Amino acid sequence: MIKPRTTFVHFVIVLVLVYLFLPWKGIFFILISLIFLAHLVYCSAAICSQAYIKTHCKANSKEKKIAITFDDGPDATITPEVLNILDEYNVKATFFCIGNHIEKNKELLKAIDTKGHLLGNHSWSHDRWFDLFTWEKMKSEIEKTNGLIFEITGKRTKLFRPPYGVTNPALKKAIQTMEFYTIGWSIRSLDTVKSVEKTLKRIKKNLSPGDIILFHDNRKQITTILKHFLEYAKTNGFEIVPLDKLLGIDVYKTE
Protein backbone atom coordinates (compact mmCIF):
# COMPACT_ATOMS: atom_id res chain seq x y z
CA MET A 1 0.00 0.00 0.00
CA ILE A 2 1.52 3.30 -1.14
CA LYS A 3 1.39 6.15 1.37
CA PRO A 4 1.81 9.71 -0.04
CA ARG A 5 2.54 10.97 3.48
CA THR A 6 5.46 8.55 3.84
CA THR A 7 6.77 9.57 0.44
CA PHE A 8 6.56 13.22 1.47
CA VAL A 9 8.63 12.51 4.59
CA HIS A 10 11.25 10.76 2.46
CA PHE A 11 11.18 13.72 0.07
CA VAL A 12 11.92 16.18 2.91
CA ILE A 13 14.75 13.98 4.22
CA VAL A 14 16.34 13.82 0.77
CA LEU A 15 16.07 17.59 0.37
CA VAL A 16 17.80 18.15 3.71
CA LEU A 17 20.62 15.79 2.76
CA VAL A 18 20.99 17.48 -0.63
CA TYR A 19 21.19 20.90 1.03
CA LEU A 20 23.84 19.72 3.48
CA PHE A 21 26.13 17.65 1.27
CA LEU A 22 25.68 18.23 -2.49
CA PRO A 23 27.04 21.21 -4.42
CA TRP A 24 24.55 20.91 -7.31
CA LYS A 25 21.47 21.47 -5.15
CA GLY A 26 19.29 23.20 -7.74
CA ILE A 27 19.29 20.44 -10.35
CA PHE A 28 18.79 17.72 -7.78
CA PHE A 29 15.96 19.65 -6.12
CA ILE A 30 14.14 19.95 -9.46
CA LEU A 31 14.66 16.26 -10.23
CA ILE A 32 13.40 15.05 -6.85
CA SER A 33 10.43 17.44 -7.03
CA LEU A 34 9.42 16.05 -10.43
CA ILE A 35 9.69 12.49 -9.13
CA PHE A 36 7.54 13.37 -6.12
CA LEU A 37 4.95 15.05 -8.33
CA ALA A 38 4.84 12.00 -10.62
CA HIS A 39 4.34 9.81 -7.57
CA LEU A 40 1.36 11.88 -6.40
CA VAL A 41 -0.20 11.72 -9.87
CA TYR A 42 0.22 7.94 -9.89
CA CYS A 43 -1.35 7.63 -6.42
CA SER A 44 -4.44 9.49 -7.61
CA ALA A 45 -4.80 8.03 -11.09
CA ALA A 46 -4.06 4.38 -10.28
CA ILE A 47 -7.10 3.24 -8.33
CA CYS A 48 -5.35 0.08 -7.14
CA SER A 49 -2.43 1.99 -5.63
CA GLN A 50 -4.47 2.00 -2.39
CA ALA A 51 -2.84 5.35 -1.63
CA TYR A 52 -5.91 7.19 -0.41
CA ILE A 53 -8.75 4.67 -0.26
CA LYS A 54 -8.84 0.93 0.34
CA THR A 55 -9.94 -0.50 -2.98
CA HIS A 56 -10.99 -4.00 -4.02
CA CYS A 57 -9.30 -4.69 -7.35
CA LYS A 58 -8.98 -8.47 -7.38
CA ALA A 59 -9.96 -11.46 -5.28
CA ASN A 60 -7.26 -13.52 -3.62
CA SER A 61 -8.29 -16.81 -5.16
CA LYS A 62 -6.68 -19.70 -6.99
CA GLU A 63 -10.04 -20.89 -8.33
CA LYS A 64 -10.82 -19.84 -11.88
CA LYS A 65 -13.54 -17.47 -10.79
CA ILE A 66 -13.84 -13.92 -12.10
CA ALA A 67 -16.36 -11.06 -12.10
CA ILE A 68 -17.37 -8.61 -14.81
CA THR A 69 -18.46 -5.03 -14.26
CA PHE A 70 -19.93 -2.33 -16.47
CA ASP A 71 -19.51 1.44 -16.08
CA ASP A 72 -21.30 4.56 -17.35
CA GLY A 73 -24.82 3.24 -17.95
CA PRO A 74 -27.61 2.65 -18.05
CA ASP A 75 -27.79 3.39 -21.76
CA ALA A 76 -31.19 3.17 -23.43
CA THR A 77 -29.81 1.43 -26.53
CA ILE A 78 -26.78 -0.60 -25.48
CA THR A 79 -27.62 -1.75 -21.94
CA PRO A 80 -30.68 -3.82 -23.02
CA GLU A 81 -28.49 -5.62 -25.56
CA VAL A 82 -25.89 -6.32 -22.87
CA LEU A 83 -28.60 -7.67 -20.56
CA ASN A 84 -29.87 -10.01 -23.29
CA ILE A 85 -26.37 -11.41 -23.86
CA LEU A 86 -25.86 -11.93 -20.13
CA ASP A 87 -29.21 -13.73 -19.97
CA GLU A 88 -28.19 -15.95 -22.87
CA TYR A 89 -25.06 -17.07 -21.00
CA ASN A 90 -26.70 -17.06 -17.56
CA VAL A 91 -24.10 -14.62 -16.22
CA LYS A 92 -24.59 -12.00 -13.50
CA ALA A 93 -22.62 -8.77 -13.62
CA THR A 94 -22.29 -5.53 -11.66
CA PHE A 95 -23.41 -2.23 -13.18
CA PHE A 96 -21.83 0.97 -11.84
CA CYS A 97 -24.43 3.51 -12.87
CA ILE A 98 -24.28 7.28 -13.34
CA GLY A 99 -27.08 9.11 -11.56
CA ASN A 100 -28.17 11.39 -14.39
CA HIS A 101 -28.30 8.35 -16.71
CA ILE A 102 -30.46 6.51 -14.20
CA GLU A 103 -32.81 9.49 -14.10
CA LYS A 104 -33.43 9.08 -17.84
CA ASN A 105 -33.71 5.28 -17.70
CA LYS A 106 -35.47 4.35 -14.46
CA GLU A 107 -37.22 1.29 -15.86
CA LEU A 108 -33.93 0.05 -17.27
CA LEU A 109 -32.28 0.29 -13.86
CA LYS A 110 -35.17 -1.66 -12.43
CA ALA A 111 -34.67 -4.32 -15.13
CA ILE A 112 -30.98 -4.63 -14.26
CA ASP A 113 -31.93 -5.26 -10.64
CA THR A 114 -34.83 -7.60 -11.44
CA LYS A 115 -32.57 -9.78 -13.59
CA GLY A 116 -30.33 -10.36 -10.58
CA HIS A 117 -27.41 -8.11 -11.46
CA LEU A 118 -25.76 -5.93 -8.83
CA LEU A 119 -25.96 -2.14 -8.75
CA GLY A 120 -23.11 0.21 -7.93
CA ASN A 121 -22.73 3.98 -7.59
CA HIS A 122 -20.62 5.81 -10.18
CA SER A 123 -21.43 9.40 -9.10
CA TRP A 124 -24.22 11.60 -10.42
CA SER A 125 -22.53 13.47 -13.25
CA HIS A 126 -19.29 11.60 -14.01
CA ASP A 127 -17.97 15.09 -14.71
CA ARG A 128 -14.52 15.23 -16.29
CA TRP A 129 -13.45 17.48 -13.41
CA PHE A 130 -15.04 15.33 -10.70
CA ASP A 131 -11.70 14.71 -8.99
CA LEU A 132 -11.29 18.49 -8.55
CA PHE A 133 -14.66 18.90 -6.81
CA THR A 134 -14.81 19.78 -3.14
CA TRP A 135 -15.48 16.83 -0.86
CA GLU A 136 -18.92 18.30 -0.07
CA LYS A 137 -19.87 18.34 -3.75
CA MET A 138 -18.55 14.81 -4.27
CA LYS A 139 -20.57 13.57 -1.30
CA SER A 140 -23.69 15.32 -2.56
CA GLU A 141 -23.39 13.63 -5.97
CA ILE A 142 -22.81 10.20 -4.48
CA GLU A 143 -25.69 10.53 -2.00
CA LYS A 144 -28.02 11.79 -4.75
CA THR A 145 -27.24 8.75 -6.90
CA ASN A 146 -27.71 6.33 -4.02
CA GLY A 147 -31.00 8.00 -3.19
CA LEU A 148 -32.29 7.52 -6.72
CA ILE A 149 -31.21 3.87 -6.80
CA PHE A 150 -33.08 3.33 -3.53
CA GLU A 151 -36.17 5.15 -4.83
CA ILE A 152 -36.33 2.84 -7.86
CA THR A 153 -35.25 -0.50 -6.38
CA GLY A 154 -35.63 -0.16 -2.62
CA LYS A 155 -31.93 -1.05 -2.24
CA ARG A 156 -29.05 1.03 -0.91
CA THR A 157 -25.87 -0.05 -2.63
CA LYS A 158 -22.56 -0.24 -0.81
CA LEU A 159 -20.57 -0.46 -4.04
CA PHE A 160 -18.81 2.66 -5.33
CA ARG A 161 -16.45 3.18 -8.23
CA PRO A 162 -14.91 6.65 -8.67
CA PRO A 163 -15.26 8.33 -12.07
CA TYR A 164 -12.18 7.54 -14.17
CA GLY A 165 -10.85 5.50 -11.25
CA VAL A 166 -9.31 8.60 -9.69
CA THR A 167 -8.96 8.84 -5.91
CA ASN A 168 -7.68 11.65 -3.69
CA PRO A 169 -8.00 13.01 -0.13
CA ALA A 170 -11.23 14.87 -0.98
CA LEU A 171 -12.92 11.69 -2.18
CA LYS A 172 -11.70 9.83 0.89
CA LYS A 173 -13.33 12.46 3.10
CA ALA A 174 -16.52 12.35 1.03
CA ILE A 175 -17.09 8.61 1.40
CA GLN A 176 -15.45 7.77 4.72
CA THR A 177 -18.77 7.83 6.63
CA MET A 178 -20.85 6.21 3.88
CA GLU A 179 -19.94 2.51 4.37
CA PHE A 180 -18.93 1.97 0.76
CA TYR A 181 -16.74 -0.72 -0.71
CA THR A 182 -14.64 1.07 -3.30
CA ILE A 183 -14.30 -1.20 -6.31
CA GLY A 184 -11.51 -1.01 -8.84
CA TRP A 185 -10.44 -3.58 -11.41
CA SER A 186 -7.56 -5.87 -12.25
CA ILE A 187 -8.20 -5.77 -16.01
CA ARG A 188 -9.17 -2.55 -17.71
CA SER A 189 -10.49 -3.71 -21.07
CA LEU A 190 -10.02 -0.30 -22.74
CA ASP A 191 -13.16 -1.09 -24.74
CA THR A 192 -13.78 2.64 -25.15
CA VAL A 193 -10.57 3.31 -27.06
CA LYS A 194 -9.39 0.05 -28.63
CA SER A 195 -10.83 -2.09 -31.43
CA VAL A 196 -12.76 -5.27 -30.72
CA GLU A 197 -9.72 -7.38 -31.65
CA LYS A 198 -7.26 -5.42 -29.50
CA THR A 199 -9.64 -5.36 -26.55
CA LEU A 200 -10.14 -9.11 -26.64
CA LYS A 201 -6.43 -9.75 -27.06
CA ARG A 202 -5.70 -7.57 -24.03
CA ILE A 203 -8.20 -9.41 -21.83
CA LYS A 204 -7.18 -12.91 -22.93
CA LYS A 205 -3.51 -12.14 -22.38
CA ASN A 206 -4.04 -10.96 -18.80
CA LEU A 207 -6.95 -13.07 -17.56
CA SER A 208 -6.32 -14.97 -14.32
CA PRO A 209 -8.27 -16.28 -11.29
CA GLY A 210 -9.89 -13.60 -9.13
CA ASP A 211 -9.93 -10.91 -11.81
CA ILE A 212 -12.42 -8.04 -11.85
CA ILE A 213 -12.90 -6.85 -15.42
CA LEU A 214 -13.99 -3.35 -16.41
CA PHE A 215 -16.33 -2.96 -19.40
CA HIS A 216 -18.68 -0.13 -20.44
CA ASP A 217 -22.34 -0.64 -21.33
CA ASN A 218 -22.64 2.56 -23.35
CA ARG A 219 -20.40 1.64 -26.29
CA LYS A 220 -21.78 -0.09 -29.37
CA GLN A 221 -18.87 -2.52 -29.78
CA ILE A 222 -19.32 -3.94 -26.27
CA THR A 223 -21.94 -6.41 -27.52
CA THR A 224 -19.46 -8.05 -29.88
CA ILE A 225 -16.68 -7.95 -27.28
CA LEU A 226 -18.93 -9.43 -24.60
CA LYS A 227 -20.11 -12.36 -26.73
CA HIS A 228 -16.55 -13.32 -27.69
CA PHE A 229 -15.29 -12.90 -24.14
CA LEU A 230 -18.04 -15.01 -22.58
CA GLU A 231 -17.34 -17.79 -25.06
CA TYR A 232 -13.62 -17.58 -24.34
CA ALA A 233 -14.17 -17.67 -20.56
CA LYS A 234 -16.46 -20.68 -20.86
CA THR A 235 -14.11 -22.57 -23.17
CA ASN A 236 -11.14 -21.94 -20.87
CA GLY A 237 -12.85 -23.02 -17.66
CA PHE A 238 -13.45 -19.62 -16.06
CA GLU A 239 -16.60 -19.24 -13.98
CA ILE A 240 -18.09 -15.74 -13.97
CA VAL A 241 -19.62 -15.07 -10.57
CA PRO A 242 -21.35 -12.05 -9.00
CA LEU A 243 -18.97 -9.53 -7.44
CA ASP A 244 -20.27 -10.09 -3.91
CA LYS A 245 -19.52 -13.82 -4.13
CA LEU A 246 -16.06 -13.22 -5.61
CA LEU A 247 -15.08 -10.77 -2.86
CA GLY A 248 -17.17 -12.17 -0.02
CA ILE A 249 -18.91 -8.88 0.77
CA ASP A 250 -22.46 -7.65 1.37
CA VAL A 251 -23.53 -5.40 -1.48
CA TYR A 252 -26.62 -3.72 -0.01
CA LYS A 253 -27.27 -2.04 3.32
CA THR A 254 -29.87 -3.63 5.52
CA GLU A 255 -32.29 -1.22 7.14
Is 75 a known active-site residue?
Answer: no
The active-site residue out of 39, 56, 71, 113 is: 71
- Those residues whose C-beta lies under 8 Å from the C-beta of residue 73, and which sit 6 or more positions away, are 79, 82, 95, 97, 98, 101, 105, 108, 216, 217, 218
Is 71 a known active-site residue?
Answer: yes
Nearest to 241 by CA among 118, 114, 159, 156: 118
| CA–CA dist 55, 38 (Å, integer) | 21
- Those residues whose C-beta lies under 8 Å from the C-beta of residue 30, and which sit 6 or more positions away, are none
Query: Taken in order 1, 125, 154, 69, is the CA torsion positive or negative?
Result: negative
The active-site residue out of 126, 131, 216, 217 is: 216
Q: Are 183 and 163 in contact (CB under 8 A)?
A: no
| CA–CA dist 87, 115 (Å, integer) | 8
Give the active site residues.
Answer: 71, 216
